[in-house]
Structure 1
């Protein structure tokens, strides 16, 4: 798969097209507080979902998320973010963040990291002061290229290219282990394309050390790739340490709107708004004791409301 769009539009990927995400009746009311449903498991939010809110009022947004019932936060953009300048802490110090976590009884079990691990001291400080368990790579840099003002998604053309990605992930996992942390990889849909008749994601996982490279499975992107999230969880049982809890509705139209770097983003929504079997997903996650579960919708005009609605839906499932 190869997709190209202007860098100017890519930098605006956080903008939304409301109609593409909506399911009839889903937004019948605005959710500005918790749903009043107490589930048996804590749920978190991938902070990329509320990136614009964070940029305007980081402390206020964290307070609002805690009041809504979220227990875990997953930060993003360590090493820089092309769509949210200032991430991960938008001007706050690590000490400020640690104090907020204590005040609002929140945890940060994992963080998405985009850099080449250049600032080891900052990574160590963040990991230790915020009690981070996993640093997660959200997309292999080899899948992206920047040229002539455009961002291009590139599918590897040979198995050897994929194995080279796997070798680098092993090294990153070892670096994190040496620092006292753990490492995982987060998928999109394009890792489930094939090269030389083999699924890219399978090649990546078969050629990485399962003790050094765990999986944060993005359920929405799994569905977007045409796979059953439940089946994928079973396939990689024991290696999946967390999930991005996204729904997917293939009845919604795709779009060539350049604000969506990947067209299938137009079909991704909050849990309960699509066709994924979340009762079965939650039951299996409980059975497998997958601890980290983050609500996320990549592009939406109503991120907080969507996040809370997703939290309510999941909490009701147990």
Structure 2
């Protein structure tokens, strides 16, 4: 009887573990959400919303209020006690903080503080748009801490809007690369698949979007229903054997965009499995 009970517990536990696996995880993709998608809410509430969308990975942004009875924002200057409290928020939800940004630091000393924060919080990607003059020491810090620095592309005329501007500064440093925002590429008149091909081997993370139209001023739509050619993007990531964070960044219907993010995640996984 005891053996049967233990066997049943093992089966149930194993089933739960398997249930937590997602289709994309076998490719090393960490599909999650940028908490900026829920910028109208504190980080503690954003975590609940991310969890409800069927996601287990988080990208935090610096100016979001923490909430949950914790004072302050998600800035990397938070003190040790606040860091521990944030870790508990994540653990209680069963979520993993994998990326942080888009963030900047004013000088080498502040960048070192940012890397120390990322190391303590278990962050693997710092997403940023730094001054080109800072790249040399940022690259050295990235090597020292073994943390990726992914250059994000806001739409033109931001400095890193085009893949060529990323390639021109990263050199051969494996910890420098792209945080590829496919929606902003479309806003800048670029083809996201061609951009990914140009950056092959240097895509360290993603900001994932689908847009209503190919125009600078447009808005997010459920993935697979817009103009970003999500199936082709997913196919290209598979071809490149990409591994890393993919953050849903849904900048529309701010008051209640959780259902559309959840539908996007469902579509993403269906397309991935085709």
Query: What interval of TM-score do these two structures reach, taking the shorter chain for normalisation?
Result: 0.7 to 0.9
Q: Which residue of 2 aligns with 1:145?
A: none
Return the offset for 1:218.
0.3
Specify the alignment match of 2:53 in structure 1. Answer: 68
1:216-227 alignment runs, 5 A limit = 216-227=179-190
Partners of 1:173 and 1:182 within 8 A in 2: no
2:186 is the counterpart of 1:186: no
> Residues of 1 paired with 2:54 and 2:162: CA distance?
37
Q: Displacement of 1:107 after TM fit?
A: 1.5
1:39 to 9, 17, 23: 23
Conserved? CA contact 2:32–2:248, under 8 Å: yes
Q: Deviations over 1:141-195 (max 9, x none)?
A: 6xxxxxxxxxxxxxxxxxxxxxxx2x4223322233334422110002215899x
Partner Cα distance (1:190, 1:126) in 2: 30
CA distance in 2, matches of 1:168, 1:128: 20
Conserved 8 A contact 1:214-1:239: yes
SS of the aligned residue for 2:226 comes to coil
CA distance in 2, matches of 1:268, 1:223: 11
DSSP 3-state at the match of 1:316: helix
Match in the other structure for 1:315: 269
Q: What displacement does 1:234 show?
A: 1.1
**Retained in 2: the 8 A contact 1:192–1:225?**
no
Equivalent pair of 1:279/1:317 in contact (CA under 8 Å): yes
Cα drift, residue 288 of structure 1: 2.0
Q: Distance in 1 between matches of 2:166 and 2:236?
A: 24
SS class of match (2:61): strand
1:48 maps to what in 2?
36
What corresponds to 1:293 in structure 2? 246
Kindly indicate which of the two structures has a greater share of residues assigned to helix.
2
Structure 1 gaps, min length 5:
1-36, 142-164, 255-263
- Would the aligned equivalents of 2:142 and 2:176 in 1 still touch at CA under 8 Å? no
Deviation for aligned residue 1:245: 0.9
Task: Provide the rounded CA distance (Å) in 1 between the counterparts of 2:241 and 2:152.
Answer: 18
C-alpha contact (below 8 Å) 1:191/1:200 kept by paired residues: no
The whole-number CA distance in structure 1 between the counterparts of 2:113 and 2:159 is 35
Aligned counterparts of 2:87 and 2:159: Cα–Cα separation in 1? 40
1:206 aligns with 2:168: yes
Confirm whether residue 247 of structure 1 aligns to residue 184 of structure 2.
Answer: no
Compared CA separation, residues 64 and 38, structure 1 to 2 (3 A): same
Alignment of 1:1-318 (within 5 A): 38-41=22-25, 42-54=30-42, 58-77=43-62, 80=63, 86-88=73-75, 93-112=82-101, 113-116=103-106, 118-119=109-110, 122-137=113-128, 139-140=129-130, 165=132, 167-190=133-156, 201-211=163-173, 212-250=175-213, 264-290=216-242, 291-301=244-254, 302-318=256-272
Unaligned runs of 5+ in 2: 1-20, 65-71
Higher relative contact order, structure no. (Cα contacts within 8 Å, ≥ 6 residues apart): 1
The two structures have a TM-score, normalised by structure 1, of: 0.64
Alignment length (residue pairs): 235
The structure-2 alpha-carbon separation of the partners of 1:203 and 1:135, relative to structure 1 and needing over 3 Å to count, comes to closer
Partner Cα distance (2:75, 2:253) in 1: 20
